[in-house]
């Protein structure tokens, strides 16, 4: 579900907070604190940089640093930022800190699992191609349909959404989601002069575990045929060279990664997750788009609040006080009707 690496609360243009930006940052911060106890290396950097490459970027970021989010953003003038990041043509930018950070997601998830296991009986099982066990569990719960049946929460990414075994085609087709392919390139710096900091402006560069390793990403590919390796490098280099010229000029591409995400339909609040109760009595949590790190904690909290509230309201989501308090949580149901 989580394929992004940079945790910060800003909207894509950097001129305002993302929906539940601060709430999400605080919620994820609590989870990171727990994960670090078991995976201390999951936080790769405790700050990142948003670069201004146009006059519009300058206006947006300076306003954010001075008016919108001064407790998390520090405006940096061109000379200082260029030196920090090895950039030649920036127009300044902001340093994001105080909870904003760079996460190594696999290590973070392992840390969260370990934290959950310490608090209770948690089982983690990878199911590869054989869906019988899950489907039988789902069928048994539906057939029982009793007050004592356990709720099933489908916390799923693009893989499960695409699998016909889990959701009927009519349901999958009605989800206000689109499956997007994303590819990234991993590079190893060949010079000690390459800054190993995280920066973004459209695309992003971010450190990886290990010595002198960085990642640049990611594409948004909607076509059936993926970029070839040569096309991918050309595409990402063309879109990120101004952001990281020193990196591109002094490194070798040593790996290419590819993944898929379930991208929610854009609405008045941007792209926000789908959470809630489906018509078949299953619960769902998906559509994290590219803000999984920011939104997985806060939306997970709301989902559990909704689930617990359902026990007092005959499982009728229309009577759910959480949905009444936050009407936007039902946005995806309105799209499916």
> Which pLDDT belongs to residue 157?
87
Percent of the chain past pLDDT 90, that is, above it, reads 72
Mean pLDDT, all residues of the chain = 90
Between CA 325 and CA 243 the distance in angstroms is 41
**Beta-ladder partners of 136:** none
Q: Who wins on pLDDT, 284 or 136?
A: 284
Q: Who wins on pLDDT, 146 or 116?
A: 116
Structure-block tokens of residue 110: 């392992």
* DSSP H or E stretch at residue 207: strand 203-207
Angle at 335 between CA 226 and CA 1, to 5 degrees: 45
Domains of the chain: 1-121 (no CATH), 141-176+268-336 (no CATH), 177-262 (3.30.9.10)
pLDDT at residue 317 is higher than 50: no
pLDDT band at 188 (very low <50, low <70, confident <90, very high): very high
Instruction: Output the CA torsion sign for 132, 279, 308, 263.
Output: positive
pLDDT tens digits, residue range 194-214? Answer: 999 999 999 999 999 989 999
**Average pLDDT in the 208-227 region?**
94
pLDDT at residue 256 is higher than 70: yes
> Which pLDDT belongs to residue 8?
97
For the full predicted model, state whether its pTM sits above 0.95.
no
**Average pLDDT in the 114-139 region?**
75
Between CA 221 and CA 241 the distance in angstroms is 20
Instruction: Give start and end residues of each alpha helix (H) in 37-131.
Output: 55-63, 78-85, 105-119
pLDDT tens digits, residue range 63-114? Answer: 999 999 999 999 999 999 999 999 998 999 999 999 999 999 999 999 999 9
């Amino acid at each position: 579900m989580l394929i992004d690496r940079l945790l910060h609360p800003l909207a894509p243009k950097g001129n305002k907070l993302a929906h539940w930006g601060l709430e999400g940052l605080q919620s994820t911060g609590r989870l990171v604190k727990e994960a670090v106890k078991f995976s201390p290396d999951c936080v790769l950097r405790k700050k990142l940089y948003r670069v201004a490459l146009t006059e519009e970027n300058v206006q947006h970021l300076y306003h954010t640093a001075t008016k919108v989010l001064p407790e998390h953003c520090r405006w940096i003038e061109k000379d200082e930022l260029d030196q920090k990041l090895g950039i030649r043509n920036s127009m300044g930018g902001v340093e994001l800190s105080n909870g904003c950070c760079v996460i190594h997601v696999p290590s973070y998830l392992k840390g969260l699992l370990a934290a959950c296991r310490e608090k209770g009986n948690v089982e983690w099982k990878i199911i590869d191609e054989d869906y019988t066990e899950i489907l039988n569990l789902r069928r048994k719960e539906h057939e029982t349909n009793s007050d004592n049946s356990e709720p099933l929460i489908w916390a799923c990414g693009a893989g499960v959404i695409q699998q016909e075994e889990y959701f009927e085609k009519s349901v999958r087709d009605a989800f206000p989601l689109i499956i997007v392919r994303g590819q990234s390139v991993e590079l190893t710096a060949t010079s000690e002069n390459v800054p190993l900091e995280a920066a973004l402006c459209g695309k992003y560069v971010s450190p990886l575990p290990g010595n002198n390793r960085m990642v640049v990403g990611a594409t948004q590919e909607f076509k059936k045929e993926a970029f070839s390796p040569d096309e991918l490098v050309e595409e990402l280099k063309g879109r990120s060279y101004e952001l990281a010229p020193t990196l591109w000029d002094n490194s070798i591409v040593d790996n290419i990664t590819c993944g898929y995400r379930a991208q929610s339909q854009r609405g008045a609040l941007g792209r926000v997750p789908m959470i809630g109760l489906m018509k078949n009595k299953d619960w769902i949590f998906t559509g994290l788009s590219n803000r999984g790190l920011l939104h997985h904690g806060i939306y997970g909290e709301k989902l559990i609040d909704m689930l617990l509230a359902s026990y007092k309201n005959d499982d009728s989501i229309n009577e759910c006080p959480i949905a009444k308090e936050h009407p936007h949580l039902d946005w995806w149901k309105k799209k499916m009707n």
